A and B are shown apart, each in its own frame.
Chain A
């Protein structure tokens, strides 16, 4: 499971005088789902375009199963299935014809394989309809089908859950996980929907202003966070804020008539006791685990494009 599927080595991209990607290096293992996240304009799509050879690298190299995208393009790209940005297909052709079209460009894809892929993404009923009539979700599925036709070792999906309904998102998530564990495919998912990444990925890489800030496993991220976000509906709220400051040295804020503060799990019953003793009415107590999202904003600061 530790075999490298894709490797980026000091990748740089310069357009004019502007350096869009600065010295990006990371690797993705086989069977791993890698989340590539960052705010808009951080260079996610540029990086993906370079990974699949749509854009030339100013410097550095991308290796797919050890094959360089620069010097061994045909061999390298054979291992890659991708959707870059929107899953755009020929709108005047049926889903089936679209898949036929792309399968003809790669050797030895049988009709059975196309049928199999169509079943996988659940498009059997509409596959003979024109893509122009598809919903965004259906196009997304067709896009994934197209990327899977040749059984790639590396699957690159740019915003794969875009436009899917919750059921569809769950299905795709499930499917991506299965591809990674069962078929040992390395999946790279770019997204800014962090909740998605959290649930799908083994590891995330955060990119900002063309630089990779950090890569870490999702498991680690979860463990690092022991502070919990607590939300309480209490009355009178001002007194409660004062009490928290006095007795527990916690800074609470009032938002939409509820009390918000961060604390460790163990402290929460103590706080409730304090409130009860001071005859503060408690209507509701809620605890949320600090999400990756908070972590994300910690890392990137504000969502500013520089």
Chain B
């Protein structure tokens, strides 16, 4: 076990001694600061103090006026169908008023919540790491020195896989923490457990931002782990990081299109990408294909996951390391 720990340290050393890894974190930091600047410019700085009810009503009046102007400008009947650009905001404000909830200002927590989309970039970076971690050893020729040690190949492979997962985990933490810090600097922090009102399937509801962050990031993590494992598998089978990065990123981008394309086939529900988004089973959402259930998706994911790992193991432990 302690040997395995040493292997992990080795893999971390090789990963974090290289500048390219730190450039990844640098890029993430720049993107987060950029998003902070953008949000800072576009959010309204209305302070909801003790008179928040009046403020909201004033806001609504203003919004209704804007809507009416909009409808006047639309000279035909379409306007009646379309309630106007601000109806959503009005409804939201009404919800605050009806339920007597003081609106919370935009703060670090909400910024973190919105940065959930950055997980696609974390996925991308993890794929790059996963694709390289085995293939690079072959490219550098160091695989020969790595394998002629009193350690089984399976253990070496596992140490590399765990390192990939840990990289994803660190990067995720980095996004969360750095987003929160940037958010705190730009927007301040409104309490440790803020609640916001969001639109859930047409109805407004008050939810905890923390639980939103957890579920939002959590659902996306499944896709991240699956694609990283996939890239890791391709990397061990082909011993080439370019193929692994290319295939994994292509599939990550095209995943939904692939499912849509084959949606009418009976086997479409067995496609990995039809199952990676488990939020399709969350309240009120409808799954890709009607007869799919949460249990079904989890089973499919587990089967794919085991196949990915089994193939990596098989190719890494059984195949000869021949000359280039």
Contacts and interface: CB of A to CB of B under 8 A. Distances in A.
Contacts of A104: 6-7, 9-10
A106 interface: yes
Contacts of A53: 147-148
Most chain A CB within a 10 A radius of its CB, from B3, B14, B141, B150: B150
B142 interface: yes
A101 B144 contact: no
A105 B144 contact: no
Nearest to A92: B18
Interface string A45-66: 1000100111110000000000
A55 to B, nearest CB: 4
Contact of A90 (B14, B149, B320, B322): B14
Nearest to A156: B148
A78 interface: yes
A89 B142 contact: yes
B148 to A, nearest CB: 5
Contacts of B18: 92
A247 to B, nearest CB: 55
A213 B9 CA distance: 46
B76 interface: no
Contact of A102 (B141, B149, B152, B323): B149
A90 B140 contact: yes
A84 interface: yes
Interface in B134-175: 140-142, 144-152
A159 B146 CA distance: 19
B149 to A, nearest CB: 4
A91 B140 contact: yes
A146 interface: yes
Interface in A72-94: 73-75, 77-78, 80, 82, 84-86, 88-93
A299 to B, nearest CB: 25
Interface of B: 3, 6-7, 9-10, 13-14, 17-18, 140-142, 144-152, 320-323
Interface of A: 45, 49, 52-56, 73-75, 77-78, 80, 82, 84-86, 88-93, 97, 101-102, 104-107, 146
